[in-house]
Structure 1
Amino acid sequence: MRHRLIVPSAAAAFLMLAVPASAAEPTPGAPGLGDSYYPEAGNGGYTVSHYDLRLAYQPKTDRLDGTATLITTATQDLSRFNLDFLLDVKDVLVDGKKAFFTRTGTHELEITPASPLLKGKQVSVVVRYTGIPSQVKVDGSSSWQRTPDGGVIANEPESAAWWFPSNDHPRDKATFDVSVSVPDDVQAISNGVLASKYSKLGWTRYNWRSTKPQATYLATLAVGKFDITTGTTSNGLPIVNAYSKDLGDNLDSAKASVERTNEILDWESSIFGPYPFTAAGGYVPNVPTHYALETQTRPFYSPAQFADGANPSVVVHELAHQWYGDSVSVKNWRDIWVNEGFASYAQWLWSEKEKEGTAQQLADYIYTSIPADNAFWTVKPGDPGPENQFHAAVYNRGAIAIQALRNTVGDKAFFEILKKWPTVNKYGNGSVQDFQAFAEKVSGRKLQKLFDTWLFTTSKPSAADAASYGIGKAPAGASLRAAGKPAQPKSWKQIQSAQLGHEH
């Protein structure tokens, strides 16, 4: 049979070209963002631009009831997606329609919407939930801390899953509204500005607002009986500080430290550039832990930080994180040095300003006083591994690396780097490699060997290598205590690493 060749008209040919081949089917979003330390942290397939949390918390029972509304945008055609969450879920709505949900893995809430989400489409996701956070444990522990009169959530690298569903990785930042209803005899503290509060029927609702991008682990909530002080920064931003009323002997020393927030912010702004947020402050709840954490705009301090008296150095550390860690966050958790090394070095600069020991003396002291066979030198600050993410070496050897950078490029270029990095990368993320490239660009120097020596070598740099970076020259006897109490390890796993005789 002979086939006839049909030549389509121009119009028909256009229509044939305009109709695509079969469109790809929507696919599930990944259950993690692929972080090398925490592969299931965060989720793929979407981003979150805003969290609205409407909560009610009863201190007597530790019961938390919540409705979380997430404004999300699909980054692929999605058949389903995950949120990171641990409490009991009642129901889920996606764009106002009931969605199927189930649990997978340790903390994955898997959601299948009534119809697929198209790439680029913005949708609201509403999750209603309840639970007793302190009773929910992962690897035997909870990030939620009970207090005599309430509860507190502040931890790193994971804390959000104990109180709201999220895309829990620093690469996906969002703005936050946190509205908390609590009994009239207690108060609720969170991040940002207290937009309003009102009382009825024996309950008071506190409405906190954070309008600048914030990583999920930096969101915090504390409910209890607090002594609250208020004021303003030098440029008119609200300061809110809160202290548990049952801190006992630690109360006055806590106030003598945290009430210096405005002074310290002024000084740090001269080094790191304009303060990047719309509020400031800190809070000290009655908890038994020993760490502090840079929860955005309102750092968390354990009372133990002030057990030996005033400790402005830890306030310097956590406020420095508002630039290095909060405004510019890690790209992956292996990049923790970009947070902790610089916050620790800020303490050394404060010590230098207060004439209690220069940054050079402190770097020399740590280098000369720790023997080569100490495990301290086996940890690579630039990639310490999840088990050593908050090891003393990340803080202290990491700070030596910064002093070595200062000695290498000179003060002019060094302080230009310190100020420009959080300005250029404001509200974004950065890696160790990004910082090295930035420092090389600003200074005009090749710095690979310096970074390899101090951040990526599993042995103590030789005396000759150290001397080439200006480290190790100070006479023995300089006291590390001059820098104030060092930052404590902070992890929901409560990693206990030896702090080289430092105070705890």
Structure 2
Amino acid sequence: MKRHGSTGLQLTSSALVCALLIGVGAPATASARHHFRPGSAGVGDPWYPMEGNGGYDVEHYALDLTYDPASGRLDGVARITAVATQDLSRFDLDLQQLTVARVSVGGRAAAFRRDGQELVVTPRRGLPASSRFGVEVAYGGVPQPLGGDTPYGFVRTDDGMVTLSVQDGASTWFPCNDHPSDKARFTFTVRVPRGLDVVANGRRVGRSSHGSWTTHVWSERAPMATYLATVDVGRWQVRSGATPGGIPEYVAVDPALTRPDLMSHFWRTTAAVTDRWARSFGPYPFDSTGAIVVWASHDGVQIPFSAETQTRPVYSAADSDTIVAHELAHQWFGDSVGFARWNEVWLSEGFAMFATWYWDELNGRASAHDRARQIYQDHPEGDPFWSVPLTGPAQPTDEAGERIYFGGAMVLQMLREELGDATFFAVLRAWTQTYRHRTATTADFTATASRVSGRNLGGFFRTWLYSPARPALP
């Protein structure tokens, strides 16, 4: 994600309850064979220790949502299928602000309590390690955005809403294991007043109207981190079809944005960038591409942002082709190949920034070679920029953000010059294929580069990736 004008990271009616997915609990006689204990209330991420939860992995979120723009009220039932990674006596879900009406595990009512952002769930019986279980949470309220003057999470718009789930924004609108290390498939069933439309990740798989409400169903079949999930409600202008390369494309534009060529701009640019990156970085990893272009404001002022929501980035006050190139590069780097810890987010943002430079180079603007050297010259010996490690800065500060975005892109350009284009892009294609729909680490990337190039690149990476000092230019 890029917030324009800053180099810093942005890291920082009731619903009916249906029958639950299959749940597995330990039989009473099995308790002696298991050592049930609580899952942790956070994954211990170096930047955000309380994000996510331990003891289980989510396989699927089925979110059944009803939204009334007039009141701002959201009512939902979240049906979560997960697998226990330990013998679980209880577990946490991340959910902020909203009121929980009931929780069940395995089809049976479960005890629950709130502890800040944590929803602590205690099933009637322990959940054995490796067992698959279902959780159902009925909840509701009026979600509030996070972030103050630069809001994210659940953000109301003039005719609906947009969700920017970056960092901990997902937990403002659904209960989840809110950490990028836990990817899952998603189904969104969203009820809104008739006349409004819904756009989400993946592809539309259903739509029906009953009385004054219309239900829209979207499905994202590829695993997705919670921070990449989006559901957006409004009166969209829509175009659907396919890119010249045959990738399904869906673009939705908020009619409140009156620039007459906005739809054609995003349609053409999205198609061109997606097809180009498929040639450069490997096959497109999802079953659709596109854009959601929205008017989102705070105190009457449009919020400038773009976000790499999976399959379909969301843009507000962002219409340049380089921004589209950046967010669509994330479909390969950050979305399909995810990162396991927030402090390795250079694997997402550094790669997307390199792609932005490369896009400009392909279109006759400044070369990636020149851009990398400009960053190098802008930060002389002794500049704190060089002391911020790419592989785990202590805090997500603006200074760390500059190093992650631009320093990460510089490392990749130097690797490109070290290996030559043919080998360098072979490394990137191997990276996106090997870790497709998975999470990976910096060590995984350096190993991939050495394997594909057939070279020992330890010295290169010690110099450009791990060194706390300004390297000498080759």
Q: Residue deviations 1:284-309, cap 9 Å, x none?
A: 11113222111000111122x23xxx
Matches within 5 A, 1:109-124: 109-124=119-134
The equivalent of 2:313 in structure 1 is: 299
Alpha-carbon shift at residue 436 of structure 1 (Å): 1.1
8 Å CA contact retained: 2:251, 2:266:
no
The equivalent of 1:363 in structure 2 is: 372
Which deviates more, 136-145 or 190-199? 136-145
Q: Distance between the aligned counterparts of 2:172 and 2:331, measured in 1?
A: 23
The equivalent of 1:15 in structure 2 is: none
Alpha-carbon shift at residue 43 of structure 1 (Å): 1.1
Counterpart of 2:102 (choices 74, 91, 94) is 91
Q: Distance between the aligned counterparts of 2:54 and 2:379, measured in 1?
A: 43
Alpha-carbon shift at residue 449 of structure 1 (Å): 3.7
In 2 relative to 1, CA 240–365 (structure 1 residues): closer, same or farther, beyond 3 Å? same
Counterpart of 2:238 (choices 221, 228, 240) is 228
8 Å CA contact retained: 2:152, 2:164:
no
* Structure with larger Rg: 1
Q: Residue deviations 1:83-113, cap 9 Å, x none?
A: 1111211100111100000012x31110000
The equivalent of 2:334 in structure 1 is: 325
The equivalent of 2:325 in structure 1 is: 316
Q: Distance between the aligned counterparts of 1:377 and 1:136, measured in 2?
A: 31
Alpha-carbon shift at residue 20 of structure 1 (Å): 11
Q: Distance between the aligned counterparts of 1:138 and 1:81, measured in 2?
A: 30
Matches within 5 A, 1:82-231: 82-86=92-96, 87-104=98-115, 106-134=116-144, 143-231=153-241
Alpha-carbon shift at residue 338 of structure 1 (Å): 0.7
Q: Distance between the aligned counterparts of 2:268 and 2:34, measured in 1?
A: 58
Matches within 5 A, 1:232-243: 232-234=242-244, 236-243=246-253
The equivalent of 2:352 in structure 1 is: 343
Matched, 1:290 2:300: no
8 Å CA contact retained: 2:266, 2:291:
no
The equivalent of 1:64 in structure 2 is: 74
SS across alignment from 2:133: strand
The equivalent of 2:391 in structure 1 is: 382
In 2 relative to 1, CA 129–212 (structure 1 residues): closer, same or farther, beyond 3 Å? same
Q: Distance between the aligned counterparts of 1:235 and 1:69, measured in 2?
A: 36
8 Å CA contact retained: 2:146, 2:169:
no
Matched, 1:392 2:402: yes
Matches within 5 A, 1:467-478: 468=474
The equivalent of 1:252 in structure 2 is: 261
Q: Distance between the aligned counterparts of 2:119 and 2:34, measured in 1?
A: 25
8 Å CA contact retained: 2:67, 2:75:
yes
SS across alignment from 1:386: coil
Matched, 1:36 2:46: yes
Alpha-carbon shift at residue 383 of structure 1 (Å): 2.1
Q: Residue deviations 1:210-238, cap 9 Å, x none?
A: 11111111110111122111111345443
Amino acid at match of 1:357: A
8 Å CA contact retained: 1:381, 1:455:
yes
Query: TM-score under structure 1 normalisation?
Result: 0.82
* Percentage of pairs with the same residue: 39
Aligned residues: 439
Counterpart of 2:442 (choices 423, 432, 452) is 432
Q: CA RMSD in A?
A: 2.3
Alpha-carbon shift at residue 167 of structure 1 (Å): 1.1
Q: Distance between the aligned counterparts of 1:32 and 1:112, measured in 2?
A: 16
Q: Distance between the aligned counterparts of 2:413 and 2:238, measured in 1?
A: 38
Alpha-carbon shift at residue 135 of structure 1 (Å): 6.1
Q: Distance between the aligned counterparts of 1:379 and 1:143, measured in 2?
A: 28
Show structure 1 runs of 5+ residues with no match: 1-18, 469-504
Show structure 2 runs of 5+ residues with no match: 1-28, 297-301
Q: Distance between the aligned counterparts of 1:22 and 1:124, measured in 2?
A: 23
In 2 relative to 1, CA 44–414 (structure 1 residues): closer, same or farther, beyond 3 Å? same
SS across alignment from 2:93: strand
SS across alignment from 1:133: coil
8 Å CA contact retained: 1:155, 1:293:
no
8 Å CA contact retained: 2:39, 2:55:
yes
SS across alignment from 2:44: coil
Alpha-carbon shift at residue 453 of structure 1 (Å): 3.3
Q: Distance between the aligned counterparts of 1:30 and 1:133, measured in 2?
A: 26
Q: Distance between the aligned counterparts of 1:459 and 1:149, measured in 2?
A: 51
Alpha-carbon shift at residue 208 of structure 1 (Å): 0.3
Matches within 5 A, 1:264-279: 264-279=273-288
Amino acid at match of 2:354: Y
